Amino acid sequence: MRPWWLLLVGLASSGCAGTVVEPGHRGLLFDPKAGGLHHDILAPGYYRLDSCFLRWVCPRIDQFDVSYSTHKEEIQAASKEGLGMNLNVAVIYRPIVAELYELDTEIGPNYYEEVVGPEFRSAARGVFARHSYMDLQRQNEKIEDEIEADLRRRARGKHVEVASVTIEAIRYAPEIATAIQLKLIGEQEAARQKAMLEADALRKKVEIETQAEQTRLRAEAAVRQKKDERIIAEEQAVIDKVKAEAESALRITKAKAEAEETKVLAKADAERRKSEASTLTPLMVQMHAYEALSKLGGAGTTIMLGDFSRVPAFLFPNFGYAGASVAPGGK
């Protein structure tokens, strides 16, 4: 009988199980005997479940990876021109943690295959059809943003968060790739020619502007020189005028001084003469006259002045007549 008891104990112990919710995951408890799927969101950790012994259905934990996941799709699409192409496009997404119960009850754990994937492929084809194949070469980021916005619109209410969409590769048909390559080469050559023309035009513009600036500077320098010469001439004229006025004033002052000096000297001489005249008596005049007459007569000459008729005759016996008015000189 012991083996049967051992078997029963082993079955009972095997019914006591537990589950680990891994980091980056969240879980929902499903227990058919206790209300089915629970709303409480289980954080990472170990959870012990009720025994499954003698039960047809055991409780379980539905786990969801709530970290960002990347899923790549190879999409066949057509451009605006109807040219076929194959694209590798990736989407980054994750479930909304607060809406895990709704996600599990409405869609289930395979929500990418059920919702995100189909909506992603449809949104990508729709956006690619609105753009030319050349746009895909130049506007990748803009097209990615359009796909992302369209996918978010489509996934609204599906309890999924779309983080970003990226275009990883574009493969055209060989003939299209060749045409694109030739067109790109032509555009590059045209761009190079345009750049050369623009550079040449810019160089000529710079030369013209430089010449114009040099001409302007020379003209301004000439004007400044003329202005400086005029100012110097005006200043020299002022200096010459002041100098001439100073010389004229000096001459006038000198002439006035000389005239004043002459006037003063004449006045002094007149005063001297006047002074001398005021001190000269008749006797002194007579004396000076006698001295002058004596000098005129020479040495040994006697000159007498007066009425000669009144002089006695014996004083002048040599004269033949008496009473002459003038006595002749003799020795």
Predicted local distance difference test score (pLDDT) of residue 225: 86
Predicted local distance difference test score (pLDDT) of residue 186: 84
Distance of CA 64 to the CA centre of its chain: 58
Beta strand 18-21 with 69-78: parallel, antiparallel or unpaired? Answer: unpaired
Q: Within the chain, which residues score under 70 in pLDDT? A: 1-17, 51-56, 173, 175-177, 179-180, 276-285, 297-331
Q: Could you give the CA distance from residue 146 to residue 228 in angstroms, rounded to a whole number?
A: 71
Helix (H, G, I), strand (E, B) or coil at 71: strand
Span 121-158, pLDDT tens digits: 999 999 999 998 788 878 889 999 999 999 999 999 99
Predicted local distance difference test score (pLDDT) of residue 130: 92
Q: Could you give the CA distance from residue 329 to residue 309 in angstroms, rounded to a whole number?
A: 15
DSSP lists the bridge partners of residue 94 as 161
Q: Could you give the CA distance from residue 327 to residue 216 in angstroms, rounded to a whole number?
A: 113
131 closest CA partner among 164, 162, 188, 87: 87
Predicted local distance difference test score (pLDDT) of residue 164: 94
Q: Where are the alpha helices (DSSP H) in the chain?
A: 2-14, 100-106, 111, 117-129, 135-138, 140-155, 174-279, 282-297
Q: Could you give the CA distance from residue 94 to residue 152 in angstroms, rounded to a whole number?
A: 12
- Every domain of the chain and the residues it spans: 2-64, 68-172, 281-331
In the block, tokens 């995100």 appear at 116
Domain 68-172 annotated CATH 3.40.50.300: no
End-to-end distance of the chain based on CA atoms, in angstroms?
A: 226
